[in-house]
Structure 1
Amino acid sequence: MLTILRHIIQEVTSAQSFSDALEIMVKRIANALATQACSIFLLDRHHGEYVLVATQGLNPKAVNKIRVPINKGLIGLVGEREEPINIDDATKHPRFLHVAEAGEEAYRAFLGTPVIYHRQVLGVLIVQQEEPRRYDESEEAFLVTLATQLAAIIAHAEATGALAELMENSKGKRHDLVYSGVPGAPGIGMGTGVVIYPPYDLDSVPDREPDNIEAEIELLDAAFATVREDLRQLSERLYPTLPSEERALFDVYQRILDSADLGKEVADNIRAGNWAQGALRQSIQTHVRRLESLDNEYMRERAVDIKDLGLRVLACLQKNNRITPQYSEKTILIGEALAPTDLAEVPEGCLAGVVSASGSGNSHVAILARAMKVPTVMGVGEAQIHDLQGKEIIVDGYYGQVHVSPGLSLRTEFERLIQEEKKLDAELDEIRDLPAVTKDGQRIGLLVNTGLGADISISLAAGAEGVGLYRTEIPFLMRDRFPSGEEQRIIYRQLLASFAPRPVILRTLDVGGDKPLPYFPIKEDNPFLGWRGIRITLDHPEIFLSQIRAMMRASEGLNNMRVMLPMITDVTEVDEALRLLKKAYAEVRDEGYDIEMPQIGVMIEVPSAVYQARALAKRVDFLSVGSNDLTQYLLAVDRNNPRVANLYDALHPAVLRALIQIVESGHQEGKHISICGELAGDPVAVMLLIAIGFDSLSMNASSVGRIRWVIRHVTKKKSAKLLHEVLSMESAVMIRCHMELALERAGLGNLIRAGR
């Protein structure tokens, strides 16, 4: 059986199409089990029906026509029970449903098994036979095993749109295809797909010995100068719509092009015996391979920037002008790996949405799209992007979905949602400068999480009251060496000055885990439980002291800086860090800087810190909960692992009780307690956070307006009642549903997504 199983799986996975794969599977299963019929029914959730999509043995004309209600027949029973059902005579079972079109009157024996993926029933796989008999255990195990393989195939088909297309055919009419990705920038965009491709291929450039080394270097310098000027013009073109901080993304490109860095490296390759194009290819490939090999998602995204620059320089070396795409009035820009420059080249007012086959919410293109308020979906890797050229596209940046060739009803619905969005945005703008105060007078501070200079103006425009978390590791990750003390001081000074007199909390270097430095390699079997955060910097006090001194020098005359220590698991770590902080303060004062000792805080993000929160609060000035990591560690769930990501929910009862304990412990010592991470910016959670007693919330800038709106429309008394209700619930799903319903009843459902 194992050999047969392997052959079936191999043949199915190499099928040309999804429907072909289903046909192969039913035929091979029927032959392998020597049974007369095998059929696959897939669940159409929208209509609550199981649809016959492939069969060997039933009437072939019934494919895509037979639809069994979800609560009817043996098919429905298998789905309800979520386990195999093995019956020797199906016609005698009380749930037997006769379907004339099927032509199954002769079949008595029945074995059905659910097709389940990530705890969701996707369909039912059945085999049937004329004579009454019960299929044996080995046959049942064989069918269950193939059902698990079928589940993965269906999930893949759902991601690529092949499942939607198949289900469309079953209704005899065309609905839109839907591709899923990762939300990059919120909002809904409608327009025409414009697909762009890289016009040149660096990988195909051959090595060649230069005839004249100096002439090749001159060509290189000229190409770099041309690209610098092109980028400057693109940046200036964005000037009317973007503040200088957003245009700083293009400054990153300019820094990469600096002749003291990449330019010198390529020139060295020329002097070593390669022409300019080959030398460029060598350098770009080396950097791309290094970045793509890193575990850190942010650094992998930088490979896209390097590739884009390399192609632009190559175009100049080859004396080719880039062909400008034909942009539509409402362009949905689509590409395999888009770069910020691609967005900048779309004529002003024409960019309605962005779809990238690769990338994440941390990519520069997603950051720029958020700044430009352009709905974006990243990582739509399964989409056949060449098929999207000229198609009508809807980009749902909230759910990370792309609708292709939508029907009239869907178009009308999304147009209505866009109007609701505009109305909500206008209302949020009206209260941007108002304090976040509940109807019964409870004031909550609203701060932002940031790590890039490009986020500064977005945060200020959103009405943030300060920075609750500045990730100082980002400037470290963007370099190929440790930044000097002066380089750090300049970065911190710009941030502190931009927000002054608002408070800015600088988190000390938090690398390790999913953020290894390329020039400070850490290889561990379990990095999330290893050498990371404060553990590294206390083991390397020279790194810690250099950073702290830079922070303190940057605060002179502003005094709005706070310092936060990450990944604290024990009070002894805080005691040692405080000793070093006082040492750095004394040294900076001795250098002649007139500064105040900054407030010091601790991040609560591991379970041990929850139970030592009061002892920690005695030693520092404030506590801040890192909700992302705390949830991950409490639930033992890697939220980046798709197999278990559905178990990750910060509204889990255990997480809520941990938050209550932290706030109570901190307030007993009279200390300010804040929370940062995804939970702080979740409108569904904000009422619970108010009731728990957090003094401030720190979130992404895009969430500030919505969270302010919720706070100003609720009371602490009502929030406390909701908290009391959910603490009696036993699952995150129940709690989330309860809170979503509470938001909708309060007339705030559209804060989750327009239309609710």
Structure 2
Amino acid sequence: MLVTEMTNPDMVVSMQKASAIITDEGGLTSHAAIVSREMGIPAVVGTDNATKVLTEGQEVTVDGFKGIIYEGIGKEQSVEILPIVQTKTKIKVIVDLPGAEERAAKTKSESIGLLRLEGIIASNGKHPLNFEKQKKLHEYSEMLEKGISIISKPFREIWIRTSDIRSDEFSSLEGSIEIEGNPMLGDHGIRFSLKHPDILKAELKAVLNCANKFHDKKFGIMIPQVISADEVARTKEMAKELGLLGKVKIGIMVETPSACLVIKDILKVGIDFVSFGTNDLTQYVLAIDRNNESVQDLFNELHPAVLNAIKRVLRTCEEMNVESSICGQAGSKPEMVKFLIANGISSISVNADVANEISKLVASVESKTASYNKNNEDNKTHGNGEEKNFKKQFDKNNNSKDKKWADKNPIKKAQEVEKKIEDLKERLMDSNNEEEDGANYEERKESNQKNEIKTSEIAIPSYVEKIIGDEDNSVNALKELFGETIVEIPNNQYPQNNIEEYEPFENNYLQEKIEPKDPTNSNKKPKDEVLDIF
């Protein structure tokens, strides 16, 4: 067994040989937890004092299911890898290490949603900078190509993340750099790769060679730690130079808040897919160290801020017809799965041991969603039983001389209302672009004053109001800042429920709609003020 304070990617070889892993530090998304799940090795992380309590040669039993370590030898239990069930939302697996592909293939999934190059790099024992310094990057590329080829063998689609090597995780590799003061926010991911373009080219060549060698497979590269469209454009230009475009899909990892905020600009560069790395995204959004066991109770991928960021990206991907996926540990959480499907994600990547369970959950959610949509469509098309009778009677009497009955028909009235609403929307849009001509200006001005389309008054959170300063201009300031347009139909001319609503506070998943605070009722416990800018 491997007992250590914390595992790092450069310990992968030792981890592969271990029958169990126990660490003092770390949480559910720490390196030890992630790798042990992929390799099917029992692990207990974040024990705080295992290295002090356990001794060399001591016999213990590790229960990875319950997170308990027993003294002595207990009964061994193994996890059976079961095949996935077919779903509309594609289920993919996460595979990092040569040899782990056989276990993952038992799921019968045809796709790898995440293949990290760091597993292959760590197994070799040399940092990419070592190859660069010795001018042996062709060996680096060949090493990666060999590892990718082995892992890819049972699968038809493989998405490969270019290297994301933090200074603290690979410090023992030959040629590694000095550990930075704040490695998580340091020089790694695409920012490192663009500073060392020859290393990035070697990685891209390895993927291209695999694509040229295996014509029955589809390969994609994922760019990690993206914060700008420029990073994607520069990487894509490099891929074009090497001949990857058209042969290998180009995608990004959505791991930073900045990527979520500028996602439309990134997609405009021209990419094929995005994949959420929720481990890092949650850490960045909530400012919580995912490896620090003392704050693990606050590390929550279902936090409204994280969900809003994800929803913004999914909504934009749907608008721009870009495939979306998730490869963080959150993809194995039932509530997150429900949220992702409700917001239109294309695929979900999980570890092999939970693939069957998650696929069944996805199938169940999809079935309920399809049934719900069908009922709504039936009601929209045919109406309820009473409306059906009206329609039947209307069709029967439509050619009669008595037209008064038709006026009572609710379907016809609904159609008339809908038409009026559409006409009103067109007039609203036209009014924004219409230039005032001198002849009718005063007449239209007088008419508009009588029937003014006004901006809704929104209850602005106190912290926003303080920043804006002038309460009268708060709505306009928010509109300008967030690009929101909120309108009301004048004089409530048409029923509110027949008009698309734009709400200042959106119903966050797993959180009630935030209402303005009632200053007269001080006994109520105040809710967090959450402004959904997405």
Alignment of 1:395-544 (within 5 A): 395-403=62-70, 429=82, 432-435=83-86, 437=87, 443-478=88-123, 479-480=125-126, 481-482=130-131, 483-499=139-155, 502-512=156-166, 514-516=168-170, 518=173, 519-544=175-200
- The one-letter code sitting in structure 1 at the alignment partner of 2:362 is I
Q: Secondary structure at the match of 1:726?
A: coil
- Separation of aligned partners in 1, 2:91 and 2:197: 33
Question: Given the two structures, how large is their TM-score scaled by the length of structure 1?
Answer: 0.42
Tell me how far 1:716 sits from its aligned partner.
6.2
The answer as to 2:323 corresponding to 1:672 is: yes
Residues 264-307 of structure 1: CA distance to partner in whole angstroms, max 9, x if unpaired? Answer: xxxxxxxxxxxxxxxxxxxxxxxxxxxx99x97122465xx4xx
Match of 2:223 among 553, 565, 585: 565
Match of 2:287 among 636, 643, 651: 636
- Separation of aligned partners in 1, 2:57 and 2:323: 51
8 Å Cα contact 1:301-1:359 kept in structure 2: no
- The one-letter code sitting in structure 2 at the alignment partner of 1:546 is A
Tell me how far 1:689 sits from its aligned partner.
1.6
Alignment of 1:584-599 (within 5 A): 584-585=242-243, 596-599=246-249
- Root-mean-square deviation (CA), in Å? 4.0
Match of 1:710 among 353, 358, 361: 361
Q: 1:535 to 1:516 in 2, by over 3 A?
A: farther
Question: Given the two structures, how large is their TM-score scaled by the length of structure 2?
Answer: 0.59
Consecutive unaligned residues in structure 2, runs of 5 or more: 132-138, 374-506, 515-534
8 Å Cα contact 1:659-1:692 kept in structure 2: no
8 Å Cα contact 1:463-1:704 kept in structure 2: no
Tell me how far 1:516 sits from its aligned partner.
4.1
1:574 alignment counterpart: 232
Tell me how far 1:582 sits from its aligned partner.
0.5
Tell me how far 1:615 sits from its aligned partner.
2.0
Tell me how far 1:577 sits from its aligned partner.
0.6
- The one-letter code sitting in structure 2 at the alignment partner of 1:670 is N
Equivalences, count = 359
Alignment of 1:361-400 (within 5 A): 367=36, 375-377=42-44, 381-382=49-50, 384-385=53-54, 395-400=62-67
8 Å Cα contact 1:510-1:534 kept in structure 2: yes
Q: 1:397 to 1:554 in 2, by over 3 A?
A: same
- Separation of aligned partners in 2, 1:570 and 1:491: 30
- Separation of aligned partners in 1, 2:55 and 2:162: 45
Alignment of 1:582-661 (within 5 A): 582-585=240-243, 596-618=246-268, 619-661=270-312
- The one-letter code sitting in structure 2 at the alignment partner of 1:629 is D
8 Å Cα contact 1:605-1:629 kept in structure 2: yes
2:332 alignment counterpart: 681
Q: 1:729 to 1:651 in 2, by over 3 A?
A: farther
Q: Which moved more, 1:381-390 or 1:607-616?
A: 381-390
- Separation of aligned partners in 1, 2:262 and 2:35: 38
- Separation of aligned partners in 2, 1:689 and 1:605: 16
The answer as to 2:10 corresponding to 1:299 is: yes
- Separation of aligned partners in 1, 2:350 and 2:2: 35
Q: Secondary structure at the match of 2:251?
A: strand
Alignment of 1:117-516 (within 5 A): 297-300=8-11, 302=13, 305=14, 343=19, 354=20, 356=22, 367=36, 375-377=42-44, 381-382=49-50, 384-385=53-54, 395-403=62-70, 429=82, 432-435=83-86, 437=87, 443-478=88-123, 479-480=125-126, 481-482=130-131, 483-499=139-155, 502-512=156-166, 514-516=168-170
Tell me how far 1:701 sits from its aligned partner.
1.7
Q: Secondary structure at the match of 2:252?
A: strand
- Separation of aligned partners in 1, 2:23 and 2:188: 32
- The one-letter code sitting in structure 2 at the alignment partner of 1:400 is G
The answer as to 2:346 corresponding to 1:690 is: no
8 Å Cα contact 2:7-2:23 kept in structure 1: no
Q: 1:693 to 1:604 in 2, by over 3 A?
A: same
Q: Secondary structure at the match of 2:181?
A: coil
Q: 1:669 to 1:716 in 2, by over 3 A?
A: farther
- Separation of aligned partners in 2, 1:669 and 1:611: 15
Tell me how far 1:553 sits from its aligned partner.
1.0
Tell me how far 1:398 sits from its aligned partner.
2.3
8 Å Cα contact 1:509-1:533 kept in structure 2: yes
Structure showing greater relative contact order (alpha-carbon pairs closer than 8 Å, 6 or more residues apart): 2
The answer as to 2:373 corresponding to 1:728 is: no
- The one-letter code sitting in structure 1 at the alignment partner of 2:98 is G
8 Å Cα contact 2:7-2:32 kept in structure 1: no
Tell me how far 1:467 sits from its aligned partner.
0.8
Q: Which structure features the higher share of strand residues?
A: 1
Residues 457-494 of structure 1: CA distance to partner in whole angstroms, max 9, x if unpaired? Answer: 11111232311111012222332243522222222222
